[in-house]
Every structure is written in C-alpha cells, then in structure tokens.
Amino acid sequence: MSVYGNHITVTPAYGRDYKKAADAVKDWQDGKDFIFHSPFSSGQYTSIRDCKLFRERGYSHVRIRFNKHRNLIDVEV
C-alpha cells in the first residue's frame, strides 16, 4: 500500500528506462505507454489516458518503477 492510498504499479514499455524520476514522470505526463502490473493482471499497456478509469476504480496514484525497476515514484491520478 502506498503512503498515498491505493495505487497501481507501472513500468516503462518497449524497453525504456529512466535514471531520474523526473524523466519517468515527464513521459507519463506526455502520454507514453507503460506496462500495468498487479497481482491479478499484468502485461497490459496503459498510459495517462486511463487515469479517469483508475480514479473510478478507487486508485489515487500511479507508482512508476524506474532505474532498472529499483526506484519508485508515485504520481497522483
């Protein structure tokens, strides 16, 4: 559970990675594709365009993994 409440976790799609959180957030905000991960379903592509659906389902943040999946940044939906 995120300190911000319910969240979904995503990783950059198509082999992208980021060394800095700001770069990951910029690409999220620019609408680039990310891969959705959850205990129940993984591998689907998602982007900022799905934020309305996330809010409707009770999610407050998207957690982006970056820097070879070692770091996290939470972005409000």
More confident residue, 39 or 72: 72
pLDDT band at 11 (very low <50, low <70, confident <90, very high): very high
Q: How far apart are CA 2 and CA 55, in angstroms?
A: 15
For the segment 22-33, what is each residue's pLDDT rounded down to a tens digit?
999 999 999 999
Backbone angles phi, psi at 62, to 5 degrees: -105, 130
User: What pLDDT shows up at residue 37?
Assistant: 87
For the segment 33-71, what is each residue's pLDDT rounded down to a tens digit?
999 987 666 789 999 999 999 999 899 999 999 999 999
Query: What residue spans define the domains of the chain?
Result: 7-76
Chain-centroid distance, C-alpha 69: 12
